[in-house]
Amino acid sequence: DQQVKQNSPSLSVQEGRISILNCDYTNSMFDYFLWYKKYPAEGPTFLISISSIKDKNEDGRFTVFLNKSAKHLSLHIVPSQPGDSAVYFCAPGRTSGTYKYIFGTGTRLKVLA
Amino acid sequence: DTAVSQTPKYLVTQMGNDKSIKCEQNLGHDTMYWYKQDSKKFLKIMFSYNNKELIINETVPNRFSPKSPDKAHLNLHINSLELGDSAVYFCASSPGQGYSPLHFGNGTRLTVT
């Protein structure tokens, strides 16, 4: 039972263009959403978050959009840089009760120079 | 300064053996986690401790036993290792409840032969 899906296992984008990574979830109780970036042989690194009371959060080149009615979030990277090449995970969670984050399967982004 | 450190980074062992993975965080966080990333790249939570108290146990076989001697340490002991235990195990920590992302270690790649 996959509560979190990242349907694109991989994505290639030219340097300087926009990268859009998508994530769908099924549990309407999720109220906090994280994005992580992971390089090979390293642990996931926190990138950006959004709470369910917002529909957009921006941090430099990274913007996360949340569409609660569609249970969909996306990460936009503009402009994309070769150093952004990594695997990106979305991780929705609940902040009430015994909270935990459920990770998607990841999207491998390759930014071409 | 490494925030969340795991040892060893690589662990190769034979079926039936018992092994431990250690994790330490110097962030002053109250909550620590073990996640498993399997061959399909799913990152799944196994355990969570809050101030040395077990708060999440995700139906993991009881061959896996976490131990938290203090809130800065969370070790994972695995008895009678099986081939299916081969995976990358990530330790993580967070400040506690509420809107707080996880900080991950660099993982321990366990290979059972």
Residue B111 has pLDDT above 80, yes or no: yes
pLDDT of residue A20: 98
CATH number where B38 lies: 2.60.40.10
**CB-based contact A58:A65 (threshold 8 Å):** no
CATH number where A58 lies: 2.60.40.10
* Domain enclosing residue B101, as ranges: 4-112
Instruction: Work out the average pLDDT over A60-80.
Output: 97
Output the average pLDDT for chain B: 91
Q: pLDDT, tens digit, for every residue of A3-59?
A: 899 999 999 999 999 999 999 999 999 999 999 999 998 999 999 999 999 999 999
A interface toward B at CB cutoff 8 Å?
A: 32, 34, 36, 41-46, 49, 51, 87, 89, 91, 95, 98-103, 105-106
Q: Is A8 exposed, middle or buried (0-12, 13-18, 19+ CB in 10 A)?
A: middle
Residue with tokens 């925030």: B3
pLDDT of residue A1: 58
CB contact under 8 A, B41 and A44: no
pLDDT of residue B98: 65
Contacts of A36 in chain B (CB under 8 A): 104
- C-alpha B110/C-alpha B113 separation (Å) is 10
Instruction: Work out the average pLDDT over A66-90.
Output: 97
Tell me how close the Cα of B57 comes to any Cα of chain A, in angstroms.
Answer: 11
Count the domains in chain A.
Answer: 1
pLDDT of residue B93: 94
When CB atoms are compared, the residue of B35, B97, B105 closest to A95 is B97
Tell me how close the Cα of A37 comes to any Cα of chain B, in angstroms.
Answer: 11
Count the domains in chain B.
Answer: 1
How sure is the predictor about A112, in pLDDT bands with cuts at 50, 70 and 90?
Answer: very high
Q: pLDDT, tens digit, for every residue of B37-94?
A: 988 788 999 998 888 888 888 878 999 999 999 989 999 999 999 999 999 999 999 9
pLDDT of residue B50: 86
C-alpha dihedral (A67, A69, A71, A74), degrees to nearest 10: -10
- C-alpha A25/C-alpha A69 separation (Å) is 11
* Domain enclosing residue A59, as ranges: 4-112
